[in-house]
Amino acid sequence: MPEDLDPPARRGHGRRDPGGGGRGLALPGLVVLGAAVTLLTVPLVLGQEEGWPLWGWFSLGLSVLLFALFMVLEARLARRGGAPLVSARVLRAPGMRRAVTVISLTMAANAGFLFAIALHLQSGLGDSALRTGLTFATCAVTFGAVGLNWRRLPVSWRPWLAPAGLLVAAGSFAGLGLALRGGGHGGALLYGTLLPLGAGLGLAFSPTLTLALGKVAPRDAAEASGLLATATQLGQLLGVATLGTLYLNRLDLPGAHPSAHAYAVTSAAMAAVSSVGAVVAVEWRRSGRRRA
């Protein structure tokens, strides 16, 4: 049979193409990563309800060890020529690690915000689910509008979109805490802070995701996309677990408006998380300029 008619598998003598398809499943790394994520998230989700028992702290410590073991297994697999779940080549892509951090912090703040304010509006202020959802709509509209239209801004602005967006979000979180700390609905100030909040989170998330994916090789696009999607989901989970726990812990304190006070404290924490994200995003921009 002529060589050009040979099946691809026979021409390659059964070897996998290192640059593309046919990747095997890195089962040990997958099992260790799944266990690490489970040991991290279960105590964060149940710790408040269970009174932070000893097993929760043990679980958190063990999760750190398993994350370290996962990195060792992935590095060893890559040295042997295997296909790790997250290749070092993708992690070395310009700005990828900082993009993962920025996206995780942005989604953590967003998820913590949605969790805490939903509980405050419904349980603390007695709003219906419909009214609460309509309150969120103002933030969702600006988030979506920014995500669809940020490419129309000048190209020279793009490196600064994420830092600016996170700073806007930090200011908006602080404004929400001030608007709601008295136990009322906040009036016009509530909506005046929700509108820029959605825009700020949109500027932090969508450009970071798009610009990070634009810096990886085409063959790594799927893997990089999966990595950033995982960062998004883990950020949301950790935001609910940590910021939500902070809100629930503050409900037990005495005061005329315990829910309002709890939400004000949580808003300050969300502003701090956003500010940290802004610092990371600025460093990403500076490092990109130095490489250029």
Give 241-292 pLDDT, tens digit per residue. Answer: 889 888 988 887 776 688 999 999 999 999 999 999 999 988 765 555 544 4
Claim to verify: residue 121 and residue 75 sit in the same structural domain: no
State how far the Cα of 227 lies from the Cα of 229, in Å rounded to an integer.
5
Claim to verify: residue 139 and residue 230 sit in the same structural domain: yes
| Single residue among 39, 58, 85 that ends a domain in this structure | 85
Q: Which backbone phi and psi does 204 adopt, to 5 degrees?
A: -75, -35
Domain range for 225 is 89-291
Claim to verify: residue 66 and residue 183 sit in the same structural domain: no
Indicate the length of the chain as a whole number. 292
More confident residue, 164 or 237: 164
More confident residue, 290 or 26: 26
- The model carries a pTM of 0.80
Q: Which among 203, 176, 199, 206 is positioned nearest to 188, based on CA atoms? A: 176
State how far the Cα of 171 lies from the Cα of 158, in Å rounded to an integer.
21
Calculate the CA 231 to chain-centre distance. Answer: 5
Coil/strand/helix, residue 26: coil
| Single residue among 85, 110, 130 that ends a domain in this structure | 85
Claim to verify: residue 162 and residue 246 sit in the same structural domain: yes
How confident is the model over 92-144, as pLDDT tens digits? 888 888 899 999 999 999 999 999 999 999 998 999 999 998 988 889 999 99
Residue 1 lies in a domain: no
Instruction: Please state the rounded mean pLDDT for residues 195-212.
Output: 93
Claim to verify: residue 281 and residue 171 sit in the same structural domain: yes
Q: For position 173, which CATH number holds?
A: 1.20.1250.20
Least confident of 10-19, 70-79, 96-105, 270-279: 10-19
Claim to verify: residue 99 and residue 80 sit in the same structural domain: no
Is the pLDDT reported for residue 1 higher than 50?
A: no
State how far the Cα of 185 lies from the Cα of 125, in Å rounded to an integer.
8
Helices (H), the chain: 8-11, 27-50, 54-79, 88-91, 96-119, 129-149, 158-180, 187-213, 221-250, 258-291
pLDDT at 285: 58
* Packed helices 158-180 and 96-119: angle between N→C axes, nearest 10 degrees: 20
Q: How many structural domains is the chain composed of?
A: 2
Contact 260, 183 (CB under 8 A): yes
Could you identify the residue written with the tokens 């609905």?
Answer: 185
Claim to verify: residue 212 and residue 103 sit in the same structural domain: yes
